[in-house]
């Protein structure tokens, strides 16, 4: 089955922000669009707003005035389910309730032709469960847009157990024709994005619970070192803690309370208090008019050590050595020294080492290097503006100052966090990669589609599997193993696909 013909009618049930957004996309793509909502006046209001949107787009040169008028003319409000009789694709975007969606599909099956595709925009409900009891379950498929639908490119095309692969492919090809970036997914809790994104919030919340750092510092590190557009706390505040917590709880319960998805009692407390983020004026941050945004913890300037030496293989962190040298600080490169741990930078009396998931204190005790400071992963050590560090309990103030001065010589802001295992970016990226690898292992989506979904759906700077390949699969495994040893928590168990790739030396994302 090819993409839906342009002259085919698309019916959208639900005229809220998501339904209206999908209607805009379909109308701009050239389809006659029928818009329905059970609320009195909702469809007429949605059509009025869409007409204004098209006019605004035309005034800004985003589309011609003729195209704006034509798109508006293709919008039709309907007031009964039976009015969708001629639709060839129905997309429901009604309340996120399984029984309500099933009832709508039951009513539609009496009206529409047998070949009409019934698509659900659900973000969390099982497509398999939605199609159960349908006359033609093979035509029920997920078509999950991301909000706002006209702007965000990703569409998850979700197949339930009964979905005909040809139906899923038609929806996929139709999404492409509409200018979207679709990915195929199997119907499991959270699909791709809402499942694989859970560690982005969960690891930050765990660090917060441990009082390793405050939200402003964690957010700054994730933005300025990790390359994420928003930090986890400001993103949760933007999404709304009621929504974010509900999704986490849904995925957790959907996977029979797997420890990997355990919700945070701290986020539950915010929900209970009505501190939902931006929409309520208070979340992790205060959004009142006179509120002052907290600054991240940043080390004051320190002197640059007279001598810096990089020993052994630093992997991706060798970029940091290059950056220090480029900034004019004296740094030597030497082969591994028998008396010094491999892959470290000697700075005055301190040793700077990239995190491997152990706390600095444990690593210092096991290596015998008392004055140890560990530093975090960065998306690009050449370009990042901030780096997180942690010092071993045995590290002297003088040695710690020398380590900070060495990093500052590269033009970096340095944020010290309490000695938490895996620091900030490293543990988050490792867990994102682990969750993505598990999704691939379970056949929920291909490695390429998982990475596309996370980049296009939530704007990650790299796909989690792509990032793991860049860091090194073995390093990701080591971070996870050390996190599990530190916490004794099964949430950090290594995904079988990562273990297998480490054994074979292969990549998580096959090269094309």
**What is residue 2's predicted lDDT score, i.e. its pLDDT?**
87
Average pLDDT estimate for 170-182 = 98
Q: How confident is the model at residue 340 (pLDDT cuts 50, 70, 90)?
A: confident
Helix (H) or strand (E) holding 140: strand 140-145
**What is residue 335's predicted lDDT score, i.e. its pLDDT?**
84
Q: Hey, what are 360's tokens?
A: 């600095």
β-bridge mates for residue 9, sequence order: 32, 87
Reference 199, options 511, 509, 489; nearest CA is 489
- Range in 124-133, 318-327, 332-341, 468-477 the model is least confident about: 332-341
**What is residue 337's predicted lDDT score, i.e. its pLDDT?**
73
CB 89 within 8 A of CB 12: no
The residue behind tokens 């399984």 is: 98
Specify the pTM: 0.95
- Range in 111-115, 164-168, 339-343, 507-511 the model is least confident about: 339-343
d(CA 230, CA 232): 7
DSSP secondary structure letters along 107-137: HHHHHS-TT-EEEE--SSS-HHHHHTT-SSG
Q: Is 288 a catalytic residue?
A: no
Q: How confident is the model at residue 220 (pLDDT cuts 50, 70, 90)?
A: very high
Measured in residues, the chain has a length of 512
Q: Which domains does the chain have, with CATH numbers?
A: 9-187 (3.40.50.720), 194-292+424-512 (1.10.1040.50), 308-416 (3.30.750.190)
Give percent of the chain above pLDDT 70: 99
Q: Is 156 a catalytic residue?
A: yes
351-370: pLDDT as tens digits: 999 999 999 999 999 999 99
247-291: pLDDT as tens digits: 999 999 999 999 999 999 999 999 999 999 999 999 999 999 999
Q: How confident is the model at residue 485 (pLDDT cuts 50, 70, 90)?
A: very high
* pLDDT higher than 80, residue 336: no
- Catalytic, out of 31, 136, 144, 241: 144
- Catalytic, out of 156, 203, 299, 466: 156
- Catalytic, out of 123, 131, 187, 264: 123
Reference 242, options 281, 265, 276; nearest CA is 276
Q: Indicate the average pLDDT of the chain.
A: 96
d(CA 264, CA 210): 12
**What is residue 124's predicted lDDT score, i.e. its pLDDT?**
86
Q: Is 123 a catalytic residue?
A: yes
Crossing angle of the two packed helices 425-441 and 447-458, in degrees rounded to 10: 130
Name every residue whose Cβ is closer than 8 Å to that of residue 494 and which is 6 or more positions away in sequence: 434, 477, 480, 481, 484
- Catalytic, out of 194, 244, 250, 409: 194
**What is residue 339's predicted lDDT score, i.e. its pLDDT?**
67
Q: Is 147 a catalytic residue?
A: no
- Strand ranges across the sheet with 308-311: 331-334, 308-311, 344-347, 350-354, 372-375, 386-391, 413-416
Sign of CA dihedral 184, 188, 191, 192: negative
54-69: pLDDT as tens digits: 999 999 999 999 999 9
* pLDDT higher than 80, residue 512: no
């Amino acid at each position: 089955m090819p993409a839906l013909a342009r002259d085919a009618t698309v019916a959208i049930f639900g005229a809220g922000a998501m339904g209206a957004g999908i209607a805009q996309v379909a109308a701009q793509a050239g389809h006659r669009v029928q818009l329905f909502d059970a609320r009195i006046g909702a469809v007429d209001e949605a059509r009025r707003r869409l007409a204004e949107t098209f006019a605004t787009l035309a005034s800004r040169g985003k589309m011609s005035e003729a195209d704006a008028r034509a798109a508006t003319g293709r919008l039709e409000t309907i007031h009964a389910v039976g009015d969708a009789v001629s639709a060839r694709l129905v997309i429901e975007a009604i309340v996120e309730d399984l029984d309500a969606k099933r009832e709508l599909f039951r009513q539609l099956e009496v009206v529409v032709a047998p070949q009409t595709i019934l698509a659900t925009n659900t973000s969390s409900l099982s497509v398999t469960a939605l199609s159960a009891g349908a006359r033609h379950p093979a035509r029920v498929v997920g078509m999950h847009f991301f909000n706002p639908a006209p702007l965000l490119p990703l569409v998850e095309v979700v197949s339930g157990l009964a979905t005909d692969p040809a139906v899923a492919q038609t929806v996929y090809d139709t999404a492409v024709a509409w200018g979207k970036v679709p990915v195929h997914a199997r119907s499991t809790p959270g699909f791709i994005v809402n499942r694989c994104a859970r560690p982005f919030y969960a690891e930050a919340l765990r660090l917060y619970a441990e009082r390793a750092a405050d939200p402003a510092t964690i957010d700054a590190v994730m933005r300025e070192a990790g390359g994420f557009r928003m930090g986890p706390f400001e993103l949760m505040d933007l999404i709304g803690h009621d929504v974010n917590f509900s999704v986490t709880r849904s995925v957790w319960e959907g996977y029979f309370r797997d420890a990997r998805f355990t919700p945070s009692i701290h986020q539950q407390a915010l929900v209970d208090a009505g501190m939902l983020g931006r929409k309520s004026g208070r979340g992790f941050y205060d959004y009142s008019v006179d509120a002052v945004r907290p600054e991240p913890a940043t080390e004051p300037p320190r002197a640059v050590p007279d001598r810096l030496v990089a020993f052994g293989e630093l992997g991706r962190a060798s970029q940091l050595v290059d950056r220090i040298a480029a900034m004019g600080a004296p740094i030597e490169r030497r082969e591994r020294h028998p008396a010094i741990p491999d892959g470290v930078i000697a700075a005055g009396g301190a040793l700077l080492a990239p995190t491997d998931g152990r706390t600095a204190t444990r690593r210092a005790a096991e290596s015998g290097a008392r004055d140890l400071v560990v530093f975090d992963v960065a998306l690009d050590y050449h370009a990042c503006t901030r780096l997180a560090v942690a010092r071993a309990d045995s590290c002297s103030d003088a040695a710690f100052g020398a380590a900070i001065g060495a990093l500052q010589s590269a033009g970096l802001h340095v944020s010290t966090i309490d000695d938490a295992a895996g620091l900030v970016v490293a543990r988050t990226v490792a867990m994102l990669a682990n969750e993505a690898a598990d999704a691939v292992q379970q056949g929920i989506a291909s490695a390429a589609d998982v990475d596309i979904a996370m980049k296009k759906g939530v704007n990650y700077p790299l796909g989690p599997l792509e990032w793991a390949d860049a860091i090194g699969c073995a390093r990701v495994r080591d971070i996870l193993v050390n996190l599990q040893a530190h916490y004794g928590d099964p949430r950090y168990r290594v995904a079988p696909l990562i273990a297998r790739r480490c054994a074979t030396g292969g990549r998580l994302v096959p090269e094309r």
